[in-house]
Amino acid sequence: MSQFDVTEQRKADWESAANALQIRDKAYIDGKFVSATSGKVFECINPATDAVLATVAECDAADVDRAVKAARAAFESGVWSAMAPMNRKAVLLRLAELIRQNLVELALLDSLDMGKLVNDAAMVDVPGSATFFQWYAEAIDKVYDEIAPTGPGDLAMITREPLGVVGAVVPWNFPLDMATWKCAAALAAGNSVVLKPAEQSPLSALRLAELASEAGVPDGVLNVLPGYGETAGQALGLHPDVDCLAFTGSTAVGKLFQQYAGQSNMKQVWLETGGKSPNLVFADCADLDAAADMAAFGIFFNQGEVCSANSRLLVERSIQAELVEKLIARADAMQPGDPLDPESKMGAMVSSEQTKTVMRYINIGKTEANLVVGGEQVKIDGRGNFVQPTIFDNVDANATIATDEIFGPVLAVVPFDSEDEAVSIANDSVYGLAASVWTDGLSKAHRVAGRLRAGTVSVNTVDALSPMTPFGGFKQSGFGRDLSLHSFDKYTALKTTWIKY
Ligand code: NAD
């Protein structure tokens, strides 16, 4: 399958590759695929067709305990944690290569499992995962420790040490990438990891664990437990032998992980949570077509199931009508379709539950604001869970659809009259994950970017992101950062060793 040319693929090619898939459906503990201790399984549903894709091991507290024991034993043995960084680098570079070689399979697993366009998975998610593993592999033998300027007679060394067992609990919107953001940095730093993917999308993580073994990651260093949040996720959060819990998901569940830590061993908890990111378009924006293109991408990409989705469009009133007209045209051109069809512009929602949630918000929106495009749930070939790209104009900044995270393809357009008003509306949110600003004014760009309370501010683009720059939130969007060297702060502890001579 690695010979498959992604840029040349047709729907029939993806379908036949999908039919040939061999799905890994067991938990991955200590280098082996194993059934859940209870013997239970749960169904993975393809949301584009409502068909059962696989029945997967349903892990719970007993399996969490097994996996944590394996992770701890591997960590204490030093087989990975004490390996020279150059050697860990070689293993993780092999893993990056294996991800590239298995691109078709990994892209299909994510697309079938959670409804995203297979083209996006193949061109964004899977290459991204390989790049992130490669980046952390290449970084790990270039990070130096410190010597404090104590003066003669003393040598105070400040070293970074891996924490031990890292629990990672991740969501379904970018299954492989969200797992990678945690695992690449945590593994590069020398930790063992117990990963719980979302119950909606466990399949690519299971294959990732197998590829990690093939690359040379020792048994027990990366364990993957499919299962539900309330059982497996909670057990990981409460486990007394987990040193650090890295979470990406909703703000409500993030708060639970803080409680789990307080109720158990005070493990470090790092949260990447929700967002309601504002996209501020000023009248002096140099290229309104580019702003419209990126505003549409910013809310409709991945069906709007993006934590940093630009779900609030704050537009200066003098250009509101023109921009909204351009956005309607773009929404019309981005109708959902079969995720395996390269011609489709938007995929399926992750589940029927998420579709109901999004439709509930759309119905609230119809009572709060002016629906200008979309607003309907649709079926493709008579089945599946799809929602039209939807735009509400003239939304009050305090309306439900302008304040709640919807996590779907629903844009709230809020007009403003001044820079102060725009900044004040943008910051009036419990979230602070990302923001975008469109202006041709250099001073205004810096001034507004400086005033926005968000982890990432993109100017004249949206959702700027790379392995080189930290990603994370202010306020209830979380704390701690994924990506960049700063991510190592989450997975290492500083040690001072003071030598008197
Ligand atoms: P979610 O919080 O429902 O689930 C995330 C993970 O937590 C899943 O693995 C789930 O099984 C687990 N979980 C659920 N309930 C739990 C419980 N009671 N105890 C322990 N674990 C539990 O979120 P979701 O619906 O999968 O994802 C959507 C959310 O994720 C959105 O709010 C989105 O903004 C957020 N997200 C944030 C980022 C970021 O980087 N900030 C990235 C992607 C998604």
Q: Is the CB of 230 under 6 A from ligand 1?
A: yes
Query: Of all protein residues, whose CA lies closest to atom 16 belonging to ligand 1?
Result: 229
More confident residue, 4 or 159: 159
CATH class belonging to 9-273+478-497? alpha beta
Query: Of all protein residues, whose CA lies closest to atom 13 belonging to ligand 1?
Result: 229
pLDDT of residue 6: 83
- Rounded to an integer, what distance in angstroms lies between the CA atom of residue 447 and that of residue 220? 49
Residue 8 — pLDDT band, cuts 50, 70, 90?
confident
Rounded distance from Cα 172 to ligand 1 centre (Å): 8
Rounded distance from Cα 405 to ligand 1 centre (Å): 13
342-382 pLDDT tens trace: 999 999 999 999 999 999 999 999 999 999 999 999 999 99
* Test site for ligand 1: of 250, 433, 490, most ligand atoms within 8 A of the Cβ: 250
pLDDT of residue 2: 47
What is the rounded end-to-end Cα distance, in angstroms, of the chain? 61
The alpha carbon of residue 12 and the mean position of all alpha carbons in its chain are separated, in whole angstroms, by 29
Q: Is 316 a catalytic residue?
A: no
Asked if 364 and 371 touch (Cβ cutoff 8 Å), the reply is no
Q: Is the CB of 407 under 6 A from ligand 1?
A: yes
Dihedral angle sign, alpha carbons of residues 334, 349, 308, 342: negative
Q: For 196-209, what is the mean pLDDT?
A: 98
Helix (H) or strand (E) holding 259: helix 251-263
Q: Is the CB of 436 under 6 A from ligand 1?
A: no
131-144 pLDDT tens trace: 999 999 999 999 99
Q: Is 97 a catalytic residue?
A: no
Asked if 466 and 420 touch (Cβ cutoff 8 Å), the reply is no
- Rounded to an integer, what distance in angstroms lies between the CA atom of residue 48 and that of residue 46? 6
Q: For 310-324, what is the mean pLDDT?
A: 98
Question: What is each CA distance from 227 to 56, 176, 232, 243, 387, in whole angstroms?
Answer: 8, 16, 6, 21, 27
- Rounded to an integer, what distance in angstroms lies between the CA atom of residue 166 and that of residue 161? 13
Q: For 148-159, what is the mean pLDDT?
A: 97
- Rounded to an integer, what distance in angstroms lies between the CA atom of residue 229 and that of residue 226? 10
**Three-state SS for 486?**
helix
Q: Residue 269: which residues within 8 A CB-CB, separation 6 or more?
A: 244, 245, 247, 257, 258, 260, 261
Rounded distance from Cα 83 to ligand 1 centre (Å): 33
CATH class belonging to 278-467? alpha beta
**Exposure pattern of 93-113 as b/e (b: 16+ CB <10 Å)?**
bbbbebbbebbbbbbbbbbbb
Mean of the per-residue pLDDT values for the chain?
97
Q: For 83-92, what is the mean pLDDT?
A: 98
Q: Is the CB of 46 under 6 A from ligand 1?
A: no
Q: What is the phi/psi pair of residue 244, to 5°?
A: -150, 140
Q: Residue 200: which residues within 8 A CB-CB, separation 6 or more?
A: 44, 113, 114, 172, 350, 351
Q: Is the CB of 253 under 6 A from ligand 1?
A: yes
Q: Residue 347: which residues within 8 A CB-CB, separation 6 or more?
A: 48, 111, 115, 116, 117, 120, 302, 303, 336, 337, 339, 386
Helix (H) or strand (E) holding 432: strand 431-432
**DSSP string of 414-430, one letter each residue:** EEESSHHHHHHHHH-SS
Helix (H) or strand (E) holding 160: strand 154-162
- Rounded to an integer, what distance in angstroms lies between the CA atom of residue 253 and that of residue 404? 16
Q: For 198-220, what is the mean pLDDT?
A: 98
**Exposure pattern of 488-498 as b/e (b: 16+ CB <10 Å)?**
bbbbbeeeeee
**DSSP string of 295-332, one letter each residue:** HHHHHHGGGG--TT---EEEEEHHHHHHHHHHHHHHHH
Question: What is each CA distance from 308 to 171, 196, 428, 499, in whole angstroms?
Answer: 14, 22, 16, 47
From 413, 401, 444, select the one nearest 316 (Cα to Cα): 413
Q: Is the CB of 488 under 6 A from ligand 1?
A: no
Q: For 19-32, what is the mean pLDDT?
A: 98
473-493 pLDDT tens trace: 999 999 999 999 999 999 999
* Test site for ligand 1: of 56, 58, 116, 173, most ligand atoms within 8 A of the Cβ: 173
Q: Say how many CA atoms lie within 13 Å of 482 toward its Cβ.
A: 26
Q: What is the DSSP letter of 468?
A: T
407-422 pLDDT tens trace: 999 999 999 999 999 9
Q: Where are the domains of the chain?
A: 9-273+478-497, 278-467
- Rounded to an integer, what distance in angstroms lies between the CA atom of residue 391 and that of residue 377? 14
Residue 4 — pLDDT band, cuts 50, 70, 90?
low
* Test site for ligand 1: of 225, 307, 429, most ligand atoms within 8 A of the Cβ: 307
Q: Is the CB of 227 under 6 A from ligand 1?
A: no
**Exposure pattern of 372-384 as b/e (b: 16+ CB <10 Å)?**
bbbbebeebeeeb
Q: Is the CB of 229 under 6 A from ligand 1?
A: yes
Ligand 1 closest atom vs CA 228: 11
Pairing outcome for strands 410-416 and 390-393: parallel
389-410 pLDDT tens trace: 999 999 999 999 999 999 999 9
Same fold, 9-273+478-497 and 278-467: no
pLDDT at 276 over 60: yes
Rounded distance from Cα 96 to ligand 1 centre (Å): 26
Of the residues 272, 316, 368, 405, only one is catalytic, namely 272
Asked if 164 and 77 touch (Cβ cutoff 8 Å), the reply is no
pLDDT at 3 over 60: no
Of the residues 210, 307, 316, 368, only one is catalytic, namely 307
Q: Is the CB of 195 under 6 A from ligand 1?
A: no
pLDDT of residue 1: 46
